[in-house]
Structure 1
Amino acid sequence: MAKVIHEFNDYIRKLRKELFGKGPERIHTVFVENMAVSTLYGNLTPTELFIAQTSEGRDIVHNARTKMIQDVYAKNHPVKLEEIVDAKFINLFSDMKVEEDIAISVFVFNKKLENLID
């Protein structure tokens, strides 16, 4: 299972780096039922950190990041993630706590990921 989680995390990091110019510094993923739940730490770019110094700026960063991620997965089917977990991608739920630079993404698949769970 460690190899699958490592591949899953590497793909998420690569995609976020391509999208935002910086990938998360650390990712922790667990598989639960038909979901992969990923907690991402150290996501924000220096520019986003600067913008997030005000309440309005935090809202802007939060809205932009969560909307972009959801749009990317809605428009560009994540075939690579499906290959990694051997299941069809159904949906993504994501949110971010800008003040702590922590994001969470819940990837929902069409079947239990039990073959990946120890």
Structure 2
Amino acid sequence: MSKKIHDFNDIIRKLRKDLFGKGPERITTIFVDNMAISTLYGNLTPTEKFIAGTSEGKEMVHMARTRMIQEVYDESPPEGLEEVVGAKFVHLFSDIKLEDDIAVSVFLFDRIIEQ
């Protein structure tokens, strides 16, 4: 794993840990053109898993894990993110499959990310 990917993953993990109380257990990231595509495994806290046991709870956890994180990035990208990739952050697309505890985030930047 390159230093750039390692540093990028550390920034993602720290933000989610600070925001949700638990960061992902494992992250894989690839850079493609002007995107960073990250797959995050082991995201949910025990409380979130319990809440997601009902359909209403599932929707609440899904909303928190997708819309909330997008709003945080819309306000401002985490410190150091743009410096690590050498490009300006534009937008985050994110989704999670609660049953498998796997999330995917696609980060768009204003230019191609050099490997």
When normalised by structure 2's length, the TM-score is 0.95
Q: How many residues align?
A: 115
Root-mean-square deviation (CA), in Å?
Answer: 1.1
Runs of 4+ in 1 over 4 A off after TM superposition: none
Q: Which residue of 2 aligns with 1:11?
A: 11
SS of structure 2 residue aligned to 1:78? coil
Please tell me whether the aligned partners of residues 11 and 78 of structure 2 are also in contact (alpha carbons under 8 angstroms): no
CA drift of 1:56 comes to 2.3
SS of structure 2 residue aligned to 1:39? strand
> Structure 2: any 5+ residue segments left out of the alignment?
none
**Partners of 2:43 and 2:100 in 1: CA distance:** 10
Q: Which residue of 2 aligns with 1:42?
A: 42
**Partners of 1:69 and 1:60 in 2: CA distance:** 13
Counting only pairs closer than 5 Å after superposition, residues 1-118 of structure 1 correspond to structure 2 as: 2-113=2-113, 115-116=114-115
Cα 1:84–1:108, aligned 2, differ >3 Å: closer, same or farther? Answer: same
**Partners of 1:47 and 1:107 in 2: CA distance:** 27
CA drift of 1:100 comes to 0.7
Amino acid at match of 1:85: V
Please tell me whether the aligned partners of residues 58 and 99 of structure 1 are also in contact (alpha carbons under 8 angstroms): no
Q: Percent identity?
A: 67
> Structure 1: any 5+ residue segments left out of the alignment?
none
**Partners of 1:87 and 1:63 in 2: CA distance:** 28
When normalised by structure 1's length, the TM-score is 0.93
